[in-house]
Structure 1
C-alpha cells in the first residue's frame, strides 16, 4: 500500500514519458516498433486513397448527370424581376431627380443610358444573329446543344427599335427638355419558365393622380416584346443573347413634384402582386423634374 501511495517526482514523470517516446530496451517509438509503424502507416495511406477515390467517383457521377445548360441556382420567385435605367437610388428605392436648367444634374443619367445601350448598336451584334426565325412573333425554340462548343442562335435587338429613346437622333434622351426617357428590362429566366400565351408588354401608372401620365410614348410601339426572343437557354448555350428592351418617354410630367410611378409586365403566368418582392414582375420608382422655379407645395 505504501508503494501505491508513493508520490512520483516531476523528474521521474519526465523520465517515464521519455521511455514512452523512445524505449531503448525494446526499440519502440511511442509504444510501437519500426515495422509496426510502417504497417500502420501503409494501412492508413491505402485507406485514405480508397476513400478519396470513392469520393471523386461519386462526385464525377453526380456532375455527369447535371446539364451545363441548366442554371445551378434557382430563385423561388415564379415571375422574372424588372429593372430600369438609369438606376439611381434614394433613401427609399429608385429615384430620379434632376433640374432642367442644370446640365450637371442630368448628364450622369444620360451617360448611364448611352453606356447601357452601346452593346445594342448594330455594329456590336454579329451577322450570324440574323436568321429566319427572328421575323415572326412566335417562340424561337431550339434543340439543346449536344456539344458544349455548339452555340445556339439568338435574335438581335437593335437600339434603333427604341425610337426617340434610342439616343441616336437625340443623344440627350429628352432630359434637358423635361421629357426624359427611361429603359425597362425584364431579367433573364431560363427556358423552363411556363410558356406565355400573350406577348410581353409593360404599362406605366402613377400611384396617385393619373393625370400626370396622360402623355407618354412607348418604344417599341405599345411597349411589347416579340416572342422570338424567347425562350432563353442560358448564357452558356446563348452567349450572344441580348435582352429585349422597352423604353418610355414622359412628355408632360408635372414639374417640381415628386411622382411615384410603377411599371409592370402584363402577360399570362407572370405575377406582379408579390408583396414580399417589389421587383417581381414590376419595378417602382420616383421621379422629380425641377425647372428652377420655386413652387409652393
Structure 2
C-alpha cells in the first residue's frame, strides 16, 4: 500500500502541448494562478511597487522643489565668466536660409523673380513683427528713449522702425530685395548676455590700424566730438580681396552700431534687442560674395574660427 502511494507521488505530470501549456500559464484552475501567481501574490507585488514608485516620485519632487528655491526665473544663476556662454557676445543675422539646408549661410536670390525673393522677404517680415508694439505683450514696459540715455529703472527702450530712418529696410519697401539695381537689407543683432555692459571705444583706447580699419577709427573719433560714440560699432566687409571689390557701398541703418541705451540686458519684460540693418546698395551681380560682420567694443574679442564677436554669411544676387 505504501509502495503504491510512493509511486503515485512521483508520477510524471501529463505531457501538454504548447497551446495547453500556454493556457495553463494564463490560468491554472488547480492552483488558481494567473500568469504564474496567485491573487494574493499579485496584490503583494503591486502594493510593493506602488509604494516604491510613490516614494521615488515624492523624493524627486522634493529635490526639484529645493532646487527651484535656489533659482531666480529672471536671471541666470551664473553670469558672464562664470556662465557657460561667457561674456563675449556674438552676432546673428537675418534672414536665415531655409531649414532644409540648416548649415548654409548663403542668401541667394534673383531680384526680378518675385517668387524667388518672397521667401527672404517673408522671413524678414516675421522677424521684424516682434518689434511691433501690438506683438509685444509687455509693451507698457517699453518707453521712447533718447540716444545714449538709459531708460527708467525696470523699463526698456523701444526699437522704433520709422520710415524716415529705416528706408528701404522696411516691409513696405520689400527690404530692398526687389530692387533690380540695388541690393538687399541684412539685419544684424547682438546676442543677449545677461548683465553684460560694453566697454566703449574712444580716442584713448582705439586699437591700431592693424586691428581696426582706419575708416572705423575715424568714425569713432568724429562721433566722440559729438558725444555720440557710446555704441557697440558694426562693420561688414568682404572676407577676401575679390569680395571687397564686389561688395559695393554699404549703408548702416539707423546708425552704425548698437547704442548704449539698450545695455545691459537684464531680462526685463518687453526687452527688444537693438538692430542694425546693413543695406548693400550695389553688390556685384552674379558673383558669390563672402561677408564678415563684426561687433566692436573694447571687451569684445574677435575669433574668426569660433565666430566670436562676428558673423559670416554669403550673398549672391542674380
TM value normalised by structure 2? 0.63
RMSD: 4.2
Q: How far 1:206 sits from its partner (Å)?
A: 0.4
Which residue of 1 is the match for residue 188 of structure 2? 184
How far 1:103 sits from its partner (Å)?
Answer: 2.7
Of 86, 92, 110, which aligns to 2:95? Answer: 86
Q: 1:69 aligns with which of 31, 51, 74?
A: 74
Aligned to 1:25: none
Separation (CA, whole Å) in 1 of partners of 2:141 and 2:68 = 32
Structure 1 match to 2:265 = 232
> Structure 1 stretches of 5 or more lacking a match?
12-17, 23-29, 143-151, 291-297
Deviations 1:147-174 (A, max 9, x none): xxxxx42211012285224316734525
SS for the counterpart of 1:66 is coil
Which of 83, 108, 112 pairs up with 2:119?
A: 108
Equivalent pairs, count: 258
Equivalent positions of 1:77-156 (< 5 A) are 78-88=87-97, 93-121=104-132, 126-130=139-143, 134-135=145-146, 137=148, 142=153, 152-156=154-158
Is the 8 Å Cα contact of residues 260 and 284 (structure 1) preserved in structure 2? yes
Instruction: Please tell me whether residue 288 in structure 1 is matched to residue 316 in structure 2.
Output: yes
Which sits farther off after the overlay, 60-69 or 82-91? 82-91
Q: Distance in 2 between matches of 1:169 and 1:9?
A: 92
Cα separation, 2, equivalents of 1:285 and 1:115: 20
User: 1-side partners of 2:173 and 2:185: how far apart?
Assistant: 11
Comparing both structures, which one devotes a greater share of its residues to helix?
Answer: 2
Q: Residues 250-269 of structure 1 correspond to what in structure 2 (within 5 A)?
A: 250-269=280-299
Is 1:128–1:153's contact at 8 Å kept on the other side of the alignment? yes
1:197–1:268 Cα contact (<8 Å) kept: yes
Distance 1:228 1:124 in 2: 22
